[in-house]
């Protein structure tokens, strides 16, 4: 069982930065691929970024590439999403997720919601112009 709790959301101006955190419970947190998704009102949940268990592989949606950075600290059971140069279209509820289908896979960075089996409750990011 994995429990995930996001934090770090808030209100930021266009062009600003935020860092989201996701704290995981369970001693096997470090064995799993982690990801970030977001969902804006009236839209489907969309993939943002993923990171393999040891950070060897990362993958980003085209819409955030070069602006967002995913990382993790397994000693702290925490993953992060550094968001820079925020745009109005980045406003959404951001969710962290864990994919436990493969343990300790250096290359596994899934991009579909149904490839993740544990989710946090979400944190709101609002971008004002």
Note the pLDDT tens digit of each residue in 48-83.
Answer: 999 999 999 999 999 999 999 999 999 999 999 999
CA distance linking residue 118 with residue 99, whole number of Å: 7
User: Is residue 9 predicted with pLDDT exceeding 70?
Assistant: yes
CA distance 43 to 63: 15
The residue-averaged pLDDT of 42-46 equals 97
Binned at pLDDT 50, 70 and 90, residue 129 comes out as confident
Residue 27 pLDDT: 67
pLDDT at residue number 83: 98
- pLDDT tens-digit profile of 95-105? 999 999 888 98
- The stretch 28-50 carries a mean pLDDT of 95
Q: Among residues 98, 121, 81, which one has the least CA distance to residue 33?
A: 98
Q: Is 16 exposed, middle or buried (0-12, 13-18, 19+ CB in 10 A)?
A: middle
Query: What is the pLDDT confidence band of residue 87, given thresholds at 50, 70 and 90?
Result: very high
Give me the pLDDT at residue 26, please.
Answer: 78
């Amino acid at each position: 069982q994995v429990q995930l709790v996001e934090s770090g959301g808030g209100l930021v101006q266009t062009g600003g930065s935020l860092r989201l955190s996701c704290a995981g419970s369970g001693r096997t947190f470090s064995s799993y691929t982690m990801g970030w998704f977001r969902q804006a009102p009236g839209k489907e949940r969309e993939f943002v970024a993923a990171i393999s268990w040891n950070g060897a592989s990362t993958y980003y949606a085209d819409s955030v590439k070069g602006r967002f950075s995913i990382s993790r600290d397994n000693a702290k059971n925490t993953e992060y999403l550094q968001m820079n140069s925020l745009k109005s279209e980045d406003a959404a509820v951001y969710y962290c997720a864990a994919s436990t289908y493969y343990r300790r896979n250096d290359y596994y960075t899934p991009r579909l919601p149904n490839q993740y089996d544990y989710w946090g409750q979400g944190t709101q990011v609002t971008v004002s112009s």
